[in-house]
Amino acid sequence: MATKAEVNKQKKITTKKAANKKETPSSKGKLAHSELNAAKETLGISPYSLSDNEEYMNSDQQTHFKSLLEAWRLNLSKKINEAVSHLKTDPKHFADLNDRATQEEEFNLELRARDREADLMVTIDDALKRLHDGDYGYCDECGVEIGIRRLEARPTATECIDCKTLSEIRERQVGGYQ
């Protein structure tokens, strides 16, 4: 399993190489979503079943989200390791330079995929740290409960839906002046 430092290192390298092709937030979200669903499926994790008057972020809920995040992390790190060994062992990355343009394009695609995965890994680690610190499940901006349903779909969410919507609007406005 890659440590955070390793992931950050890898991230730095790949970000540098793929700097001119910046990912949009939506493509990142897409990857996160498909990876999460794969993890849930592989490890048979079903959604948390809430009982009446249950205290928010009680130990059962914390355990549920910890298993979910750890399963997701494990699935992702497997994928990263497989991809890295594929890059190392696949002879087509070294020989046969006849179709160089296609090769380069393929390689760039690979790098961008790795970059997104490394980003996601850092985000998952941050969520696990928040769980450990007791901050998990509360909005970073306004402090309200993010809510079990939203966390189930986005276990790495750090903002409630209102704050998230606001910051997306702000991001778009700032982006417009660049």
Interacting residue ranges for Zn ion, rule: CB under 5 A: 139, 141-142, 160, 163
C-alpha 96/C-alpha 92 separation (Å) is 6
Give me 34's structure tokens.
């498909």
Q: How far is the CB of 11 from Zn ion (least distance, A)?
A: 27
75 neighbors 40 (Cβ within 8 angstroms): no
- Which is closer to Zn ion, CB of 39 or CB of 160? 160
115 neighbors 7 (Cβ within 8 angstroms): no
- Which is closer to Zn ion, CB of 17 or CB of 164? 164
- Which is closer to Zn ion, CB of 122 or CB of 163? 163
Q: How far is the CB of 91 from Zn ion (least distance, A)?
A: 51
Q: How far is the CB of 164 from Zn ion (least distance, A)?
A: 8
β-bridge mates for residue 138, sequence order: 145
Q: How far is the CB of 161 from Zn ion (least distance, A)?
A: 8
- Which is closer to Zn ion, CB of 106 or CB of 168? 168
Picking from 133, 167, 130, 162, the residue whose alpha carbon sits closest to that of residue 146 is 162
